[in-house]
Amino acid sequence: MQPTQPARAERLARVNPTRAFLGALVVVLAGLFLPGIVGGVLLLALAAGMIALIRMTWSVQTPPTRLLRLVLLTALIGIAIIKIL
């Protein structure tokens, strides 16, 4: 592990879950309602954040949780690509 990862994980652990959920909800809704490429790029940015979180927590998640996260990530990327096209 890199020396910066524990600090990042500790900082993420202090984030209020309700605020994180509401923030992600706002970004998803904005991405869905903004037209065309703007919304698609916003959704892809959210997907990039999800990829970073999935990589950080992969080893401590159960296989069903991993599968659910990958399904949601795939759906988000698919929606983003459809919006861009």
- List the pLDDT tens digit at each of the 85 positions of the chain: 555 566 777 887 788 889 989 999 999 999 999 998 999 999 999 999 999 989 988 888 999 999 999 999 999 999 999 999 9
Range of the domain at 57: 35-85
CA 62 to the chain's CA centroid = 18
pLDDT number for residue 41: 95
Task: Identify whether 62 is part of a domain.
Answer: yes
pLDDT number for residue 26: 95
Task: Identify whether 67 is part of a domain.
Answer: yes
> In whole angstroms, how far apart are CA 17 and each of 20, 23, 27, 56, 81?
5, 10, 15, 17, 28
Alpha-carbon span 75 to 16, nearest angstrom: 25
Task: Identify whether 78 is part of a domain.
Answer: yes
Task: Identify whether 43 is part of a domain.
Answer: yes
Residue located via tokens 């959704």: 43
Number of domains in the chain: 1
Q: Which residues contact 37 (CB under 8 A, 6 or more apart)?
A: 83, 84
Task: Identify whether 56 is part of a domain.
Answer: yes
